[in-house]
Structure 1
Amino acid sequence: MVQGTQMRAHLCGIQTAWTDATDAREAVIAIASVLDRASIGHLLVFFSPAYSTSELTAAIAEQFPGVGLAGCSTSGGISPAGAIDRGFVAIAFPREGFRIVSSVLTEIDQLDVESAASSVRALRRTLDQGRPDRDPGQRFALSLIDALANAEETVVSAVAWALDGIPLVGGSAGDDLAFSGTALIHQGEAHTNAAVLILVETDFPIRIFKSDNFEPTSQKFVVTAASEENRRVHELNAEPAAHEYAMAVGLDPERLTPMSFAAHPLAVKIGGEYYCRSISRLDPDGSLTFFCAISEGAVLTLAQPRDIVEATRAELSSLDTALGGLDVVIGFDCVLRRVDAESRQVRHKISDLYRRYGVVGFETYGEQYRSMHLNQTFTGIAIGLGNPV
């Protein structure tokens, strides 16, 4: 586990810093003390939901005046030195080598898709100014979304459409599996029921990725009763949802926990490929609430996990080879992957991989990849050691 405050300077000019300070203001001051603030153009921050968001944003404005800002609360941070269950992680982009613009979409539970797409196109035009011939392969987009608004699918669909080919990755804000209140920050203001979009253009080689560690079984469930607006499934195969699921995996329906859901994920088949639709919690009435949108009539497949360490190692090794070495990886890792790794007593091996390959990011309530909202997946953007463009 991380102790104290540390930082790491990457060859591309990005600085990463992290602290386990328990007070928001103290955390920001600690981070500011180890960064070269004069070179920073934009901050991306991930923080404990125990912090006061207003105190955090005020402290950042004081310590980093004039610096662009985006961030969200988490269910755990990822630093190049290991996992942070409580604390603050900062990714400081330099002014040189990176051009960044950002915006916020509000009231996403009632999102006007056309209006949201127009906002994203306007953001693209801002990034385009003075650089009409820029290689589109040097751009990527990051999304941070309030998971408790239950709107990720609508947001990602609208954003990906308007990005017109710029690849999108991101994560849904968390709150340590409390499901009571997540927070986003953008340019000194706190938001809920919102999404923050960051567009980045860089001189360095990049590649987006996604990795999971599950494979489908022959066990199927049909969603026969659901409250689609709050992602709650009441019946599977015309039986009470929790009971039917528990019987299939050999567990007591009244003792289902996040560890149960992490070990026995459900998946949906789209375009010939399976994507996780993870359960977030057991409800008092025996229904199951999901991290992703679920509709009546959907066919869910019980999945079984593969070796999470080897799957993660293979993905990071492939990226390392493709990019001529990894400088930094901004990663969005499902909190249920952490729960699964802990239950199998391999979390330390995952942390070792993240240290080796320079992964920094946070543990999420959902992951975004291109036009998809996913669960139980590790997504992100890898920045390589190759020569700048």
Structure 2
Amino acid sequence: MSTGMNDVSSSARWFGTGHSTLGDPAAAGAQAATAALAGRDPAIVFVFCSVGYQRPELFDAVRAQVGPDTVIVGCTTSGQLADGQVSRAGVAMTAWGGAGFRVRTHVARSVTGRLREAGAEAASCLAGVEAGHKALLMIADGLTGNQHEVVRGAFSVAGAAVPLVGGAAGDELTYVRTYQFHGGRDGVEILSDAVIGVAVGSDRPMGVGLAHGWQKEGDALVVTSSREGRVLELDGEPALDVFLRRLDVDDSALDDPAAFRELAFHHPLGLSRRTGEDIRVVHDGDRSDRSLICLADVPQGALIWLMTSTHDTLLDSAADAAGQALDALGGEPALGVMVFDCAGRWIKLGEAGVQQENVEFGKRLDGVPYGGFYSTGEIARVRGALGMHHFTLVTLALA
């Protein structure tokens, strides 16, 4: 499903955010939309909310404040943020509009089992977007598995010149069902098992940043056997055995799946890349075949490390990701910044640490508005065909 082009060219450019923790979805939607839009006509509105808020009443409140050409997209999350305000339960909105923006979208449906095809389908919205600067923003269901295939499919259409950014929808880390949103003033669909592509064209620069704050721990390991997101062997041994030994725990650690997942969150895998390490969260261990289960590819033959971090390095990475996006604007002032932060970082930092992270982020942006959500996988590709990340903070700055 595609929308028509939204080309706003008659007013000053703007970027707004809104946030609400009101318990009623209609009231929360109205409060967040009023703050984000402030009576302005947006090219696009992003709606990020916790599970339970994805109700028609929420979108009715947004639709009442937008024009006929406005695109509304978004998803459920594992947390949302807007200009320093952070919530587990609530809704955050980010919107922009004004001169020189072009927005086109496409929805790929029933994507499980055809993720690469779905990524290419979602990226088809780039066709017809003529602008000096372009980016493809993607919102995907976070529970489809092998999310890297979505990025590879999108790359097959976007090519090397168009940066990809975005995130995977969440459900407060319950891993039951996530929702994606797409529509406009005439109606908003509430979907699952979907990938939404948002082609953004602008007559001014856009910049991408990404950072994670993790460092290598111990010796490198070679992935001697893997299948997409499942790591079967490390250095010729069953991967689960190696992982447990490195953590100095035994099989009993798997008796409580939630406790094992929390333990693994603090020791992700770092996958060697030319530009550093891509992070892969270990979500589970399979006793039957002694494998480790991740949600993105860990290719056979790859060099990996267990990774470690400190509170300070995680906080520093927030400012890093913001700074990279700003620097990529080539000296032009930033209008606003979209943020895709990992839900696993929230677990690692804790409630107080997440607030500190947003303080650091805000300091680096120095008054530039920002908003986004906590995801179950982050998309950022500036070069090459790869671009699926975990435990990473991804930013998109608009000039």
- Alignment match, 2:349: 341
- Alignment match, 1:300: 304
Q: Secondary structure at the match of 1:148?
A: coil
Are 1:43 and 2:41 counterparts?
no
Are 1:375 and 2:390 counterparts?
yes
Code of the aligned partner of 1:349: Q
Q: CA deviation at 1:353?
A: 1.9
Q: Secondary structure at the match of 1:108?
A: coil
Distance 1:351 1:115 in 2: 33
Q: CA deviation at 1:208?
A: 0.9
Name which of 122, 128, 137 aligns with 1:126: 128
Cα offsets for 1:154-204 (capped at 9, x unmatched): 211111221132111111111111000111011111221111111112234
TM-score (norm 1): 0.82
Distance 1:282 1:76, change over 3 A: farther
Distance 1:349 1:114, change over 3 A: closer
Distance 1:239 1:53 in 2: 48
The gaps in structure 1 that reach 5 residues or longer are 1-10, 129-133, 385-389
Contact 2:217 2:305 in 1 (8 A): yes
- Alignment match, 1:75: 78
Q: Secondary structure at the match of 1:162?
A: helix
Q: CA deviation at 1:222?
A: 5.1
Which range moved further: 88-97 or 280-289?
280-289
The alignment-based identity, stated in percent, is 22
Code of the aligned partner of 2:378: E
Distance 1:333 1:168, change over 3 A: same
Q: CA deviation at 1:257?
A: 4.2
Are 1:332 and 2:373 counterparts?
no
Distance 2:315 2:275 in 1: 25
Aligned length, in residue pairs: 363
Q: CA deviation at 1:302?
A: 1.2
Are 1:310 and 2:308 counterparts?
no
Distance 1:215 1:175 in 2: 28
Distance 1:319 1:62, change over 3 A: closer
TM-score (norm 2): 0.80
Name which of 362, 375, 381 aligns with 1:364: 375
Q: CA deviation at 1:262?
A: 3.3
- Alignment match, 1:248: 246
List aligned pairs for 1:1-389, cutoff 5 A: 12-34=13-35, 35-64=37-66, 66=68, 67-111=70-114, 113=116, 117=120, 120-121=123-124, 123-128=125-130, 134-135=131-132, 138-164=133-159, 165-187=161-183, 188-221=188-221, 228=227, 231-233=229-231, 236=234, 241-251=239-249, 254-255=252-253, 256-271=259-274, 273-281=276-284, 288-294=292-298, 299-305=303-309, 307-320=313-326, 323-342=331-350, 346-356=353-363, 357=365, 358-370=369-381, 371=385, 372-384=387-399
- Greater than 6 Å deviation, 4+ residue runs: 283-286
Distance 1:325 1:309, change over 3 A: farther
Aligned-residue CA RMSD (Å): 3.0
Contact 1:258 1:336 in 2 (8 A): no
Q: CA deviation at 1:300?
A: 3.2
Distance 1:250 1:114, change over 3 A: closer
Distance 1:53 1:234 in 2: 41
